[in-house]
Amino acid sequence: MSASSGDAHGSVQSSQTGTELGKLSIPMSVHRYAIEASANAMIITRAEPPHFIIEYVNPAFERITGYRAAEVIGRSCNFLQGDDGDQAGIDEIRLALREQRAGNAVLRNYRKDGTLFWNHLFIAPVRGSDGAVSHFVASQYDISQAKQLESELLHLAHHDELTGLPNRALLRDRLLHAIACARRDGSRMWVAFVSLDRFKVINDSFGHGGGDSFLKVIAERLHAVVRGADTVARWRSDEFAILMSDQHEGGLGTAALERIMTAVSVPISYEGQEVVLTCSIGVSGYPDDGPGVDTLLERADIAAFHAKNDGRNCFRFHTADVNQKARARLRIEADLRLALERDEFVLHYQPQIDLGSGRITGVEALVRWQHPSRGLVGPVEFIGIAEETGLIVPIGNWVLRTACLQNRQWQQEGLPHVRVAVNLSARQFVCANLAESVGAILSEIGLAPQDLELELTESLVMRDVERGIGVLRALKHLGVSIAVDDFGTGYSSLAYLKRLPIDVLKIDRSFVMDIGSDDGDAIAASIIGLAHNLKLKVVAEGVESVEQLDYLRVHRCDQVQGYYFSRPVPAPAFAELLCVDGGHIIP
């Protein structure tokens, strides 16, 4: 028989003498050799339904499938499918056999040892001299490698490279599917957004490589803590989304969310440090919170935002109220853009008292927003949004200029000299010409650099220590002093702290608040000791009681600031404080 070119129907004409191509005649033995030497498996079957009995297989068939020719001749081909008979490709092959035409399909086949290989099978009918189909020739291409590559590519396209978790695309897909199932069964499902708290601090402290290690650990834990049918996906850098199908309790029990929070908060040791991460979770559910993928995701995201706003390390369900808050945030953003033009910002001033002399020696300028309809808005409500939108840079410049101008004015009015402290945000700190613009403002206003202090948070400097040191040096070179704000709330490395050209550590309010409890005492005292060892001055923030004051005095804290002495007040009220007894607040 011949395996030469087929006719219009893809069939093969058999002849006893071999193929005649013009004058060239190829002997039968060459055809046989060609089939035997082929790298692809070839099978010749009878054309009789239903079994299409195998009459011949070539050596490549034996090699690929592991079956000897003697084991398969006389059998029907379908043993190659094992128990995996439900394949679309098989229908196509059956149809081609029935219609006695050529056909091809990709099939999952199984070797004698049970292992899978992907077989791209081509069949063609062979016609005898009478024109009737007597046989089929089948050639098999083992495309397992290509299939493997394809599935790897598919995996890559649907999974996050760092954590190996499903990515957004796959999550959306699964969500679509889950919503369709829930709609059909009348069941419910939930999306939980898990956002790691203050992860920026981790990146700033341990670098991005460190941050990545933490994310991998968290990804594994989340994956381990949910049920097999649930999907944990990586959503954004430090945010994960979990798709949860109907729970046995009928609703989403808070126990499931608590398990997630507990899993996240198990300490992670990294480079000899034990770090505890927490997360804020926002949950939305189908069908209560929305009909589609986008609404559910958006609402879970908003709920997570509110969990963060409510102090982090907690979970919040989406509610209409939450939705309203999200809209309010958008409104703030829009109003904030106009606030500078409309001159709506004001500064309030809070005195810093030197414990040695009992006198006001410094003042922190704190921005407020005189909103046309909402009244006086505190910085906590808008500094974050201003940071995100970049508006913090012009607002920060306004604060700096106004605070310097105000201090110069007090001096010109003959009031006792104080140093004015201004908070700098991350965005301002990375501005290329920070030192120059500070220098320009000082000389334009005529304020001595010693009368200005800049407050930075530790994570801000630690984000890029080498660069941070450069910026700080340039500022120091001007003669302004530098304070590290909220000290103790980040993860600064003491080794770096020693290298930073800074003057003051401000103990975070939370440690002052803890004075009176055993741990809190120890922390405040240790920070004072540490600062003095590094030849730095210490300011305690948030002093509210005489007990705290006494404690700080006993432990030789240099300066104090807090409601106990004065809340932040408008400029005229602060001037009055300065006037009274030359600014002596503590007798």
Footprint of Mg ion (CB under 5 A): 423, 455, 485-486, 541
Which residues sit at the interface with ligand C2E, rule CB under 6 A?
A: 350, 366-367, 378-380, 383, 396, 399, 423-425, 455, 485-486, 509, 541-544, 561-563, 568
Least distance (Å) between residue 375 CB and ligand C2E: 15
Cα 539 from Cα 549, distance rounded (Å): 12
Selection from ligand C2E, Mg ion, none that 195 binds (CB < 5 to 8 A by kind) is: none
**For 390-500, where are the alpha helices, taking DSSP H only?**
392-412, 426-429, 434-445, 458-462, 465-478, 494-499
State whether residue 82 is helix, strand or coil: coil
Helices 144-158 + 168-185 axis angle, to 10: 90
Nearer to ligand C2E, 455 or 458 (CB): 455
Selection from Mg ion, ligand C2E, none that 380 binds (CB < 5 to 8 A by kind) is: ligand C2E
Nearer to ligand C2E, 380 or 494 (CB): 380
Least distance (Å) between residue 348 CB and ligand C2E: 7
Sheet holding 279-286, edge to edge: 231-236, 239-245, 189-196, 279-286, 315-317
Least distance (Å) between residue 391 CB and ligand C2E: 11
Identify whether the C-beta of residue 277 lies closer than 8 Å to the C-beta of residue 235.
no
Selection from Mg ion, ligand C2E, none that 332 binds (CB < 5 to 8 A by kind) is: none
Nearer to ligand C2E, 122 or 369 (CB): 369
Nearer to Mg ion, 456 or 577 (CB): 456
Give Cα separations from 387 to 10, 339, 382, 428 (angstroms): 69, 15, 9, 9
Cα 147 from Cα 89, distance rounded (Å): 15
Least distance (Å) between residue 574 CB and ligand C2E: 13
Least distance (Å) between residue 360 CB and ligand C2E: 14
Selection from ligand C2E, Mg ion, none that 490 binds (CB < 5 to 8 A by kind) is: none
Per-residue tokens: 17: 């003498």
Least distance (Å) between residue 347 CB and Mg ion: 13
Per-residue tokens: 576: 């009055």
Rg value, the chain, Cα: 38
Nearer to ligand C2E, 18 or 562 (CB): 562
Selection from ligand C2E, Mg ion, none that 562 binds (CB < 5 to 8 A by kind) is: ligand C2E
How is residue 580 annotated by DSSP?
G
Angle CA 523–529–531, to nearest 5? 100
Cα 93 from Cα 582, distance rounded (Å): 100
Nearer to Mg ion, 439 or 568 (CB): 568
φ/ψ of 257, rounded to 5, equals: -70, -35
Least distance (Å) between residue 177 CB and ligand C2E: 45
477's CB contacts (< 8 A; 6+ apart) are 435
Selection from ligand C2E, Mg ion, none that 257 binds (CB < 5 to 8 A by kind) is: none
Selection from ligand C2E, Mg ion, none that 101 binds (CB < 5 to 8 A by kind) is: none
Nearer to Mg ion, 104 or 561 (CB): 561
**Residue entry with tokens 């070539």:** 58
